[in-house]
Amino acid sequence: MLKPVALLGQASAYAAFALFIGYFSVAPNYQHLEPGLALIKLSFSHAGAPRTPCRQRTAAELAALAPNMRRPTVCPRARVDLVVELAIDDKLTYRGDLPPAGLAHDGASTVYKRFPVPAGRHRVTVRLRDSVREEGFDHERSDAIELSPGQNFVIDFNPACGGFVFL
């Protein structure tokens, strides 16, 4: 059986711990963004086109291979780097060359960037090159958006939805 002094000490320790947790659950105040700002997030993962096209093996190449390795088509795994541009109010805000993930460079390229902007009306243009072409872009979207203070505006890319998706 515990003595009254031990029970009092244990209750005091629990109370101090509860006060500590209670205080830090409400203070200090966390401010996600400065007042009057909104946030534009460019966030997506996408796999670019293969760097080189598939090719057919010749009869001599097939004959030189073991029978279980005789696939007539050879497709390299490596993919192109993605080129992404984001312009806010006709000013280039971000340009990135995104390498594919993976040891064989065959995975998706990923971008996650945050851009705090003043709340209000903005013109957002986003472009993506995911093919072997050297100039120009394969996907582009430009829209005027209205942002309220503290709003998170996300730019995603989904080829099944037609390209860039504004959320």
Question: Residue ranges per domain, the chain?
Answer: 1-30, 33-50+80-166
d(CA 117, CA 159): 27
From CA 16, how far away is CA 70, in angstroms rounded?
A: 73
pLDDT digits over 112-160, tens only? Answer: 999 999 999 999 999 999 999 989 999 999 999 999 999 999 999 999 9
- Domain boundaries 33-50+80-166, corresponding CATH code: 2.60.40
As a whole number of angstroms, the distance between CA 84 and CA 45 comes to 12
Element (H, E) at 116: strand 109-118
What is d(CA 85, CA 155) in angstroms, rounded to the nearest whole number? Answer: 12
CA distance 89 to 122: 6
pTM summary value: 0.75
pLDDT at 1: 66
Q: What is the DSSP letter of 67?
A: G
